[in-house]
Amino acid sequence: MTKNTNASPYMLTTPIYYVNAKPHLGHAYTTIMGDFLKKLALIEGKRVLFVTGTDEHGEKIVQKATAEGKTPKELVDEVSSEFRSAWEKLALDVDVFYRTTQPDHYKMVQNALQFLKDKGDIYFAEYEGKYCVGCERFRTDSEWNEEGLCPDHQTPPDLRKEPNYFFKMGSYQKELIKHYESNLEAIEPSQYRQEVLSFLKQPLEDLNISRPKTRLTWGIELPFDKDYVTYVWFDALLNYLGAIGYEGGDFAAQREFKNEFWAESHHLIGKDILKTHAIYWPTMLMGLEVPVFKKLHVGGFWMNKGLKMSKSLGNVVDPIKVSEHFGVDFFRYFLLREMSFGSDANFTWEAFIARCNSELANGLGNLASRVLKLSQKNFEMKIPSASGLNDQDKALVSAMKALPAKMAQEFEQCRYHIGIGHFNEAVAECDRYINDNKPWVLAKDPEQKDRLASVLRTAMEALHVFSIVSYPLTPEASLKLQEALGQSGEIVGALFRVDTGLDATRSLTEVPQLFPRLELPDLE
C-alpha cells in the first residue's frame, strides 16, 4: 500500500488456497495474476490492497491430516506457511495473508451467522444430496459427468442425508439476477456471466451451511448450536471481508475505510469455483446487507497432457523449482503471456523456452543491451541529448508514448496476452528503427555525432517507456533497466513519467543482462 491516501483505492483478492496440497502452478498462476494486476494499478498511481491466504477447515483437510498421521492443526500450520513462503520466493507483493484459523476470523464468522439467524435467513431442515469432497460442495444432478463422476476431480458422489442448517439463498435469486443483468462487467470474461445467468434460470436452492459434529469437528462452531460446525465455503468466502477488518454484523456501522476498498473489490478466481463466488457469495452479502463485490475475474486451467493440473491427479509443475532455476521474471512472463485469460492453456517446457528466448532474450534483452552499450561507448555514461529529431524519430517516440494506453485497452477486456503482444510489437518496432538507422555505422563517423546522439536518445526514450510498462510483467528486469538508465525506480504513478520522458540529468549505470537465453531443462 502507498502512503498517498488521496489515491484511488483498489482491492484485489485471490482465492484462499486449500492446505491439503502444496502450492503448484495453478495456485501460483492465480497469485501471480493478482500481483500483476496490483503492479498495474500501482504504476497507474492507485492505492492497492492485495489479499491472499489459506482455507484451512473442511473435510479434505481432515482427510489429508489423517492420511499423514498429523492433527489438522499441525497440517494447516505447516502447509499455510509453505504458501506464505512460496509467494515470498516468487517475490509477490501480498498485503494481507489471511488464514481461516486466525481467532478474529472465528469471531467474525460467528457474528455474521448470528446476524443472519436473527433476521430469519437461517433455518433447520433435513437434507439429502450428492457431495463432492474435492469441491467441498453438493453438486446438483446435472453437475456430474456422463460416468456420474465429478468433472473436476474424477470422483464419485458421496450420498448424504442428514439434518442441517440452511441459508435462504433461494430468496435472493431475483435480486441476484437483477444485479448481473444491470452490472454487465460484474463477471469477466463475459462468457462466465452468461453461464451464471443461464444457471440462474433454474430455481435456486437454499444453501446447506452446517455440518454435524458427528461427521466433522474441524470447523467454526455455529453460535446458535454447539453440535454443528460451519460449512467450509461459508466460512472461507467471508475471508474477503475479514481481510478489511469486518467484524460480522452491521457492515454499514463499521469504520469507513472498509467501504472504500470494498467498493473497488476485485476477486480473481478459477472457473472451478465460479458457482461458489458468483452465486453463494453475493447472496451471502445480500443477506448480510453488504454491497456486492465489484468484479469477478475468472481464469481457466493450466493443463498437462489434457487434464487439469492438480495435486490429486499428480500432474503438477512446481512453481518454486521453475523460478529457482530460471528466475521469477521468466516464469511469470510465460504464464501471463501464454494463457488467454479465461481459457485453458498447456504448460510445456518447449513453449516456455521458446517464448522466453524469442520474446524476452531476443526482444527487450537484446535491444536494451545494444542501445545502452553504444550509448556508454560513445557518450561516456551520459544520456545523449538530441539536437534535432527527424520524422522517423518523432514517430517512434509518439508510438512509444501511446503504448501504455494501447496495452490498457486490452487489459481492461482481460486480454492480457494481447496487451503483452503489443508490448513485444513495440520492442520489435524499436529494433527496426535501430536497424534502419545503424548507430554502429554512425559511430564511426565523427561528423555524424549529432545524428548518433538523436538516434540513441530516441531509442533510450523507448527503453524508458519499456522499463515502466514492463514492471507488472517482469518486475526484476524493469527495475534493472530503470537503474541502467539512471532513473528513479519510483513505482507508484510511474506511468505518468512516460509523458515526461527521461530525466537526462542522470547518468547511465552498468549495462545489465536483462534476460539470458534459456536452455531446455533436464526434466529428470
Q: Which residues are catalytic?
A: 24, 27, 132, 135, 150, 153, 308, 311
| Site stretch for ligand MSP (CB under 6 A), options 91-99, 190-198, 307-315, 371-379 | 307-315
Give the shortest CB-197-to-ligand MSP separation in angstroms: 21
DSSP 384: P
Distance (Å, whole) CA 272 – CA 509? 48
Which position among 9, 10, 11, 17 is part of the footprint of ligand MSP (CB under 6 A)? 17
Closer residue to ligand MSP in complex, CB, 270/287: 270
Give the shortest CB-38-to-ligand MSP separation in angstroms: 17
Which position among 18, 50, 115, 218 is part of the footprint of ligand MSP (CB under 6 A)? 18
Is residue 26 near ligand MSP by the rule CB under 6 A? yes
CA 216 distance to own-chain centroid:
32
From the list 94, 78, 101, the residue with the least C-alpha distance to 22 is 78
Beta-bridge partners for 122: 167
Which position among 9, 10, 15, 361 is part of the footprint of ligand MSP (CB under 6 A)? 15
In sequence order, the 6+-apart residues with CB closer than 8 A to the CB of 127 are: 160, 161, 162, 163, 164, 166, 208
Closer residue to ligand MSP in complex, CB, 30/230: 30
Give the shortest CB-341-to-ligand MSP separation in angstroms: 11
Annotate 57-106 with DSSP letters as a single string.
-SHHHHHHHHHTT--HHHHHHHHHHHHHHHHHHTT---SEEEETTSHHHH
Closer residue to ligand MSP in complex, CB, 9/319: 319
Is residue 55 near ligand MSP by the rule CB under 6 A? yes
Is residue 97 near ligand MSP by the rule CB under 6 A? no
Give the shortest CB-283-to-ligand MSP separation in angstroms: 14
DSSP 310: -
Distance (Å, whole) CA 115 – CA 85? 36
Annotate 232-299 with DSSP letters as a single string.
HHHHHHTHHHHTTT--SS-STTS-HHHHHHHTTEEEEEEGGGHHIIIIIHHHHHHHHT-PPPSEEEEE
| Site stretch for ligand MSP (CB under 6 A), options 231-239, 398-406, 450-458, 460-468 | 231-239
Is residue 27 near ligand MSP by the rule CB under 6 A? yes
Closer residue to ligand MSP in complex, CB, 246/466: 246
- Residue keyed to cell 530525466: 503
Give the shortest CB-476-to-ligand MSP separation in angstroms: 24
Q: Grid coordinates representing 67?
A: 492420511
Which position among 211, 308, 422, 464 is part of the footprint of ligand MSP (CB under 6 A)? 308
| Site stretch for ligand MSP (CB under 6 A), options 2-10, 23-31, 37-45, 186-194 | 23-31
From the list 87, 120, 132, the residue with the least C-alpha distance to 233 is 132
Yes or no: say if 491 and 45 are a contact pair by the CB < 8 Å rule. Answer: no
Closer residue to ligand MSP in complex, CB, 10/98: 98
Give the shortest CB-313-to-ligand MSP separation in angstroms: 9
Q: How many residues bind ligand MSP (CB under 6 A)?
A: 21
Closer residue to ligand MSP in complex, CB, 220/269: 269
Give the shortest CB-275-to-ligand MSP separation in angstroms: 11
Is residue 30 near ligand MSP by the rule CB under 6 A? yes
Distance (Å, whole) CA 63 – CA 216? 11
Is residue 207 near ligand MSP by the rule CB under 6 A? no
Is residue 427 near ligand MSP by the rule CB under 6 A? no
Closer residue to ligand MSP in complex, CB, 26/342: 26
In sequence order, the 6+-apart residues with CB closer than 8 A to the CB of 200 are: 173, 176, 177, 180, 279
Distance (Å, whole) CA 170 – CA 181? 17
Closer residue to ligand MSP in complex, CB, 18/87: 18
Contacts (CB under 6 A) with ligand MSP, residues 235-254? 236-237, 239
* Residue number closest to ligand MSP, CB atom: 270
Q: What are the distances in angstroms from CA 115 to CA 125, 185, 412?
A: 19, 30, 37
| Site stretch for ligand MSP (CB under 6 A), options 306-314, 415-423, 433-441, 500-508 | 306-314
Yes or no: say if 468 and 455 are a contact pair by the CB < 8 Å rule. Answer: no
Count CA within 13 A, CB hemisphere, residue 144: 18
Q: What are the distances in angstroms from CA 106 to CA 56, 76, 281, 325?
A: 12, 16, 18, 40
Closer residue to ligand MSP in complex, CB, 68/118: 68
Q: Which amino acid is at 28?
A: A
Give the shortest CB-496-to-ligand MSP separation in angstroms: 34
From the list 407, 399, 389, the residue with the least C-alpha distance to 462 is 399
Distance (Å, whole) CA 402 – CA 391? 16
Closer residue to ligand MSP in complex, CB, 299/486: 299
Which position among 302, 341, 379, 423 is part of the footprint of ligand MSP (CB under 6 A)? 302
Is residue 90 near ligand MSP by the rule CB under 6 A? no
Which position among 166, 261, 301, 471 is part of the footprint of ligand MSP (CB under 6 A)? 301
| Site stretch for ligand MSP (CB under 6 A), options 119-127, 302-310, 411-419, 463-471 | 302-310
Give the shortest CB-208-to-ligand MSP separation in angstroms: 17
Contacts (CB under 6 A) with ligand MSP, residues 263-292? 269-270, 272-273
Yes or no: say if 50 and 231 are a contact pair by the CB < 8 Å rule. Answer: no
Interface residue list for ligand MSP (CB under 6 A) = 15-18, 26-27, 29-30, 55, 236-237, 239, 269-270, 272-273, 301-302, 308-310
